[in-house]
Amino acid sequence: MIGARSIAEPTIKDTIIHRIDPRAKILILISTAFIAVTLDNPETMFLLFLIVLSGFALARMPAIKLKTLAILLILLIWGTIYSQALFYSQLPRTVIFTIISPDFPVLGWLTNGGLFVYEEGLRHGAIQGLRSASILSLGLLMCWTTDSRDILNGLVGLRVPYSVAFMVVTAVRFLPIIITEVATVITVQRLRGFNPKRFGSGIIKTSLNILTPTLSNCVRRTGTLAVSIQSRAFRANTERTYLKKLKFSEFDKAVVTICVFAAISIVIIKLLYNLYTSGIYYTSGLRPVYAIARGYL
C-alpha cells in the first residue's frame, strides 16, 4: 500500500532536476509539448524522447517509479502502434500481414473486407506513440521532482488565477490518496476470497466493488475539503503571501530560453514548409528552411 502511494507522490532530492524553478519546469513542459506535436520525423522524435528520459537519470528516480514509467510507456507505445497498424485508413497502404482474410466466413464480412497489418500504420503508430510518450514522461518527471506547494507557487507565478492553480494542485494531491484507497479495497477483497486477476465476470464484479467505495470516499473527502477551505476564508483576501519566494537561476533562464526558442523555431519552420507543400507560399530564399523541415522535422 505504501509502495502504491509513493508512485504518485514526489521524490524530493537535491539534484539538478529538482533544483529547477517550478515555473521553468512548466514552461519547459509547454515548449516540449509544442515540439512533440509539431515533429513528424521519427529519428528526431526518438532523439527528443531520449533527451526527456535522460532527465530521469539526472533526477536519480527510485526503482519503483522507473518501473511504473516503463510499464506506462510500453502500454502506451505498444497500444498506439498496434491500433494504428490495424486501423490505418490513409493511402497508400502496404499489407505486410493478414489477420482475417476477406474470404473468411462471417468474420470477413463483419470486419468489412478483412483485417490486415499495414506497414505505413506501424510507422505512423510509432511516431504517434513516441509523441505521446515524450509528453507523458516529461509530465511525470515534473510531478515526481516538484513538491505540490512549489507547483502552486509556479502556476501563480505564471499568472494563473489562484483558484485555478489551487484546483490543479488539489487534483494532483488527490491522486496518491485514490491509489491508496484502491489498494486498500483490493486487499480487503482478497481477504474476503475475491481474485482481482480472474478473467470473465470476476473482473467486472471486482471492478464494481472497487469503484463503489472509492467513489464514495472521493465524494466524502471533497465535501470535507470544501468545508475546510471555506472555514479558513479561502477568498477573503486577494493579496496572498508565500513562505517560499521563487527565483530564476541563470541555469533556469538558459534552459527556458533554449526550449522556448526551439519550440518557436520548429513551429515556424514547419508552418513555412506546410505553406510550401500545399502550394500557398514559396520563395527560393527559404530553400534551406524547406530542406531542414523535410530532412529533420
Residue range 15-40, pLDDT digits in tens: 888 888 888 888 999 999 999 888 88
pLDDT of 186 above 60: yes
pLDDT at residue 197, as a whole number: 65
pLDDT at residue 3, as a whole number: 58
d(CA 38, CA 48): 12
pLDDT band at 166 (very low <50, low <70, confident <90, very high): confident
pLDDT at residue 129, as a whole number: 85
Q: What number is the average pLDDT over the span 75-104? A: 81
pLDDT of 44 above 60: yes
Query: Residue 82 burial (CB < 10 Å; 0-12/13-18/19+)?
Result: middle
For residues 190 and 196, the answer to whether their CB atoms sit within 8 Å is yes
pLDDT at residue 227, as a whole number: 86
pLDDT at residue 199, as a whole number: 59
Q: Is the dihedral of CA 245, 251, 253, 257 positive or negative?
A: negative
**Domain ranges across the chain:** 1-153+248-296, 160-232
